[in-house]
């Protein structure tokens, strides 16, 4: 009989293994058996907990989004400055847990899957809306609403584009480089609106 409390641990192990396996393959062309092997459990147990690979993929995306949201909530609680809140959003977006090679590859695989899976597409839309909402909320305290919307879209596009660039692995970026690039773009866009007192 299974030990009490093992199910959550095994579920987490399978989710983590799915992320590593999908990331290392760079696609969802993996089997439950491969993921289960990576997690150190049987394929039968993986099917028992998740039913199908699709449900395990959904759980993996939910786990990534939950981690991202938790990190962002913590980062935003540390400051009341609108400009520093923008920096927090950027910093969390390129956190080491999210921007390592395997996780970036997994994110790209999930975006490809979103073209045929409505559930995956819905989860990724939630992520993009939250990102833009967090950016726009802080930006509206620094510039007019139309400019806030425009700049939020630009910053979000920078983040997405740097993930795609990282996935190519031609000249991998560290965690600091994408933060600096995005901050430089943001500073340039905010320059007409910011006074000397509002610095990141």
Per-residue pLDDT of the chain (200 residues; tens, 9 = 90+): 455 578 889 999 999 999 999 999 989 999 999 999 999 999 999 999 999 999 999 999 999 999 999 999 999 998 889 999 999 999 999 988 888 888 999 999 999 999 999 999 999 999 999 999 999 999 999 999 999 999 999 999 999 999 988 888 766 677 789 999 999 999 999 999 976 444 45
- Report d(CA 168, CA 158) in Å as an integer: 16
pTM for the full model?
A: 0.86
- Report d(CA 69, CA 169) in Å as an integer: 26
What 3-state class would DSSP assign to 100?
Answer: coil
Tell me the H-state helices in the chain: 6-25, 32-39, 43-50, 53-76, 82-93, 96-99, 101-113, 118-139, 145-168, 176-190
- Report d(CA 56, CA 63) in Å as an integer: 10
CA distances for 153 relative to 64, 108, 122, 133, 186, angstroms: 22, 19, 19, 10, 11
At which residue do the structure tokens 């641990």 appear? Answer: 9
- The CATH T-level fold of domain 56-190 is Tetracycline Repressor; domain 2 (1.10.357)
Enter the DSSP assignment of 144.
-
């Amino acid at each position: 009989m299974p030990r009490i409390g093992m199910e959550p641990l095994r579920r987490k192990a399978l989710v983590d293994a799915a992320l590593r396996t999908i990331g290392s393959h760079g696609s969802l062309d993996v089997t439950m058996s491969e993921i289960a092997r990576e997690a150190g459990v049987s394929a039968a147990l993986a099917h028992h907990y998740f039913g199908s690979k699709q449900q395990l993929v959904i759980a993996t995306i939910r786990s990534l989004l939950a981690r991202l949201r938790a990190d962002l909530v913590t980062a935003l609680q540390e400051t009341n400055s609108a400009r520093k809140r923008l920096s927090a959003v950027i910093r969390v977006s390129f956190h080491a847990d999210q921007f390592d090679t395997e996780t970036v590859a997994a994110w790209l695989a999930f975006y490809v899957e979103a073209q045929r899976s409505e559930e995956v597409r819905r989860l990724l839309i939630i992520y993009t809306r939250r990102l833009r909402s967090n950016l726009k909320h802080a930006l509206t305290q620094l510039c007019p609403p139309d400019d806030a919307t425009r700049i939020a879209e630009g910053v979000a596009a920078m983040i997405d584009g740097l993930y795609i660039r990282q996935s190519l692995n031609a000249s991998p970026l560290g965690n600091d480089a994408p933060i600096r690039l995005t901050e430089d773009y943001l500073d340039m866009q905010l320059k007409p609106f910011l006074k000397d007192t509002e610095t990141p």
